Structure 1
Amino acid sequence: MTTVFVTSATGSQGSALCNELRNLGWNVRATTRDLNSPVAQSLLSAGVHLTLGNWDDEDSLRKGLEGSNKLFLCLLPSLTDFDQAPRRAALIARVAREVGVNHVVSSTTLGSFLVEPGFVPSIRLGPFFDAHVRSKKRVEQAAIDGGFAHWTVLRPGFFMANFVEPKIQFGYIETKEGSWTNSLTAESPLGLVDHLDIARFAVAAFQDPTTYHGRKLGVISEELQVQDAMDQLADAIGDGRSIKAIFMTDEEIAREQAKGSWLFFSSEPCLRHLSGYTDLDELQRLVPGLMTFKDFLIREKEAVRVTYLSLIDVHPTPL
C-alpha cells in the first residue's frame, strides 16, 4: 500500500494533497504540533494518520515517517531565520531515506528559477527576496540530494488564495481598500495558481514517477494581466466596487528595496520575467482542467464574502 508522508499537512497545499491522496485510497501520514486544531481534526476524520511532533525533533519525525514510501516536502520559510527551512528539509530527507522512502515531491516557489545558473535576463534581486528564494532553493536541493530513486520539484506561481482570508493578511490586504500596488507592469502576465492544482500535480508525480523524475516544473493554473485579475476579484465581491492595479516605477521599487521590504510584489522587478518559466499548454496536457481565477472565486465565495463583506475582524492564522 502506498503511504505518503505530507509535511505542512495543515497548510493549504498540504491539506489539499492529503484529501486528494485519501480519495485515491492511499495511506497518508503527517505530524502536527496541535492535534486538536480544526484542520487537524478534519484530516483525522479523512483518515490521515497524525502524530504529535515538530520538524526539529528527530524522534517524532521518525515516528511520523515510519512506514512511508513517498514524501511531500513543503516548508514555509522563516523570515527571521533563512537557514531554518533548509536545515529542517535536510533532517526530514535524511530520516525519510532511513525509514525507506524512495520518492519525493518538493513544492517551493516559482522564484527559484531566478537563482538558477544562467537566469536571463540577469537582474539583481533585493537582499531580502534573494535570501528568501535561496532558502527555498536549498529546500529543493535537500530533496534532490537526498538519495531518493525519484524526485520532482514543483515551483508554484502566485497563489489565488492570497486575495482571501487568511492569506490576504500576509501582504495583500490593500485590495480591501480598492487597490493593489505591485512591481509588475500593465503588460506583465501574472501566473496565478490554485493550491488544489498544486496538489493535483503532486499526485500526478507520485503516480508517474518516471515521467516527472528530475523535473523542476513551474506550476500555474492561469495567466492574467494584473488589472484583469483585479476586475474579476471586484466582480466576485459583487458590491459595485472596483480594485485598481497600481504599477510601481523603477525608482519607487528601488526605494522599497532599500528599506529591505519583505513585500515581494511591491519591491521586485524581476517578477516581471517569471512567465518565461511556465508553459501553460504543457501544464494543461499534464493535468487537464486547471482552475481559472473566476472559477476559484466562485468556489471560494464564502471566503470572498468573509474577506471583503464581513464586518468581523479576521485575524491571521499560521498556515
Structure 2
Amino acid sequence: MSTSPETPAVFVTSATGSVGSALCRQLRDLGWGVRATTQNLDSPSAKALQEVGVELTLGDWDNEEALRAGLTGCDKLFVCLLPDLQDFNKVPNRAKNIAAIAKAAGVRQVVGLTTLGAFAVEEGSEPPSAHAPGPFFVQHLHAKKRVEQALIDGGFDHWTILRPGFFMANFLEPKIHMGYTEIRENGTWTNSMTASSPLGLVDHVDIARFAVATFQNPDTFHGRRLGVVSEEPLVQEALDTLAAAIGDGRSLKANFLSDEECAKAQAEGGWRFFSSEPCVRYMADYTNLEELNKLLPGGLTTFKEFLEREKEGVKETYGV
C-alpha cells in the first residue's frame, strides 16, 4: 500500500459500523488506501468492505499485533470507539494504546469521533446548571473527553475531533433497538427534549464526509473540536417528517418529560440518555449550521433527504 501524498492510506476503527463503513467507501472512491481490523473476516459487513478494496486484518482493538499490522504503512487514522458503560476507563485506555501504536507506525494525522455532549464537560467552560449532565451521563462524557485527550496528546502533526449529535439512523434498524422502539411500537417518542428545543440530527454519511474533508485539509481542521449536525428541526417536526416517509397514514407524537420525570429516570441510571438528560435540550448551543455548510462540500443532508436515501431501511423498520 502506497503512503505517498498522492495516495494516502487511512486506518479506520469501527470500519463495519455505520460511520466507519461510509468513510471506508468514500475514501476508496478517492482511490485512497484503507485498512482496518475486524473480529470476523467472513461477516457480510467485512466482505462488503473487502469488495471495495479495504484491507482487513483479523483482530480487535486490544490486539496489538493486529493493530501494528494494520497501521503499518498508514499515515492517517480515524478513531471511533464504542463506549463501555460498565467500565469507563476501558475505552480511554484503549484510545491511548491505539494512538501510541499509530504514532510509532508513522501516522501523522488523526481524526477522532466522540459526541456532541463532550462540550458540556469542556474544561474551563462550566455549563449553566440546566446544561449539566446527570451523574451517570457525566461519567460517559468524561470518558469521551479522555478519549479525545489521548488522541490530542498522541504527538500527531494534525488532530481533529468530530462531535456528532443525534444520529438520524437511530430511527431505523438496527439502531432503533438502542432505546427507540417506542416510536415503532406505540407511535410515540418519550424524550427529555422540549417542544421548542432544536434536535441536532446528523446523517452518518455526513460525518464520514466531514472526516474525509478533514483528511484532505489537515491544516484547515487542525486543533478543532467540531460539533457536527446535519439539520436542527424541532422534535415534532422530525417525527412528522418520519411519518411522511413511512407513508401509511400513521402519525407520530413527541412526549416530553418534565424535569421531575427526568430526575427520576436519571436516578435509575442507564444509557438511554435522551430519555433522562435535560442537557440534550441545549445541543444547538454547541453547533453552527452556517459554518458546517461552508466546511462541507455539497452541503448537509436534511432528514427528509436521508429518509429518501434510506427508504429501504424505512420499509424494513416500519413494515411498509
TM-score range, shorter chain: over 0.9
Per the TM alignment, residue 289 of structure 1 is displaced from its structure 2 partner at its CA by 2.1
One of 280, 301, 305 as aligned partner of 1:295: 305
Amino acid across the alignment from 2:317: T
Give the match for residue 115 of structure 2.
109
Tell me, what secondary structure is at the counterpart of 1:78? coil
CA deviations over 1:258-291 (Å, ceiling 9, x no partner): 1113210010011111211100000000113211
Task: Give the Cα–Cα distance (whole angstroms) in 2 for the partners of residues 219 and 164 of structure 1.
Answer: 20
1:233 paired with 2:212, answer: no
User: TM-score, structure 2 length as denominator?
Assistant: 0.95
Give the match for residue 150 of structure 1.
158
Task: Give the Cα–Cα distance (whole angstroms) in 2 for the partners of residues 185 and 308 of structure 1.
Answer: 25
One of 244, 259, 277 as aligned partner of 1:250: 259
Amino acid across the alignment from 1:294: K
Moved more, 205-214 or 134-143: 134-143
Tell me, what secondary structure is at the counterpart of 1:221? coil
One of 20, 23, 26 as aligned partner of 2:29: 23
One of 120, 127, 132 as aligned partner of 2:127: 120
Give the match for residue 100 of structure 1.
106
Alignment of 1:1-319 (within 5 A): 1-117=7-123, 118-122=125-129, 123-176=131-184, 177-287=186-296, 288-309=298-319
Tell me, what secondary structure is at the counterpart of 1:284? helix
The percentage of counterpart residues that share the same residue type is 64
Task: Give the Cα–Cα distance (whole angstroms) in 2 for the partners of residues 30 and 141 of structure 1.
Answer: 22
Per the TM alignment, residue 58 of structure 1 is displaced from its structure 2 partner at its CA by 1.0
- Contact 1:261–1:267 at 8 Å: present in 2 too? no
Amino acid across the alignment from 1:120: P
Task: Give the Cα–Cα distance (whole angstroms) in 2 for the partners of residues 43 and 62 of structure 1.
Answer: 20
Task: Give the Cα–Cα distance (whole angstroms) in 1 for the partners of residues 312 and 283 of structure 2.
Answer: 31
Task: Give the Cα–Cα distance (whole angstroms) in 1 for the partners of residues 248 and 291 of structure 2.
Answer: 37
Task: Give the Cα–Cα distance (whole angstroms) in 2 for the partners of residues 277 and 289 of structure 1.
Answer: 19
Tell me, what secondary structure is at the counterpart of 2:269? coil
Moved more, 128-137 or 192-201: 128-137
Per the TM alignment, residue 195 of structure 1 is displaced from its structure 2 partner at its CA by 0.3
Task: Give the Cα–Cα distance (whole angstroms) in 1 for the partners of residues 111 and 271 of structure 2.
Answer: 27
Moved more, 281-290 or 119-128: 119-128
Task: Give the Cα–Cα distance (whole angstroms) in 1 for the partners of residues 181 and 144 of structure 2.
Answer: 24
- Contact 1:113–1:119 at 8 Å: present in 2 too? no
Amino acid across the alignment from 2:220: T
Moved more, 195-204 or 51-60: 51-60
Tell me, what secondary structure is at the counterpart of 2:126? coil
Task: Give the Cα–Cα distance (whole angstroms) in 1 for the partners of residues 61 and 251 of structure 2.
Answer: 43
Give the match for residue 314 of structure 1.
none
Task: Give the Cα–Cα distance (whole angstroms) in 2 for the partners of residues 295 and 208 of structure 1.
Answer: 27
Per the TM alignment, residue 120 of structure 1 is displaced from its structure 2 partner at its CA by 2.8
Per the TM alignment, residue 119 of structure 1 is displaced from its structure 2 partner at its CA by 3.3
Query: Which segments of structure 1 move beyond 4 Å, counting only runs of 4 or more?
Result: none
Per the TM alignment, residue 121 of structure 1 is displaced from its structure 2 partner at its CA by 1.7
Question: RMSD of the TM alignment (CA)?
Answer: 0.9
Amino acid across the alignment from 1:273: Y
Tell me, what secondary structure is at the counterpart of 2:199? strand
Task: Give the Cα–Cα distance (whole angstroms) in 2 for the partners of residues 10 and 128 of structure 1.
Answer: 28
| Gaps in structure 2 of 5+ consecutive residues | 1-6
Task: Give the Cα–Cα distance (whole angstroms) in 2 for the partners of residues 136 and 29 of structure 1.
Answer: 24
CA deviations over 1:200-246 (Å, ceiling 9, x no partner): 00000100000100000000001100000000111111111111000
Per the TM alignment, residue 248 of structure 1 is displaced from its structure 2 partner at its CA by 0.5
Per the TM alignment, residue 83 of structure 1 is displaced from its structure 2 partner at its CA by 1.4
CA deviations over 1:76-125 (Å, ceiling 9, x no partner): 10121221211111110000000000100001100000100213323432
User: TM-score, structure 1 length as denominator?
Assistant: 0.96
Tell me, what secondary structure is at the counterpart of 1:148? coil
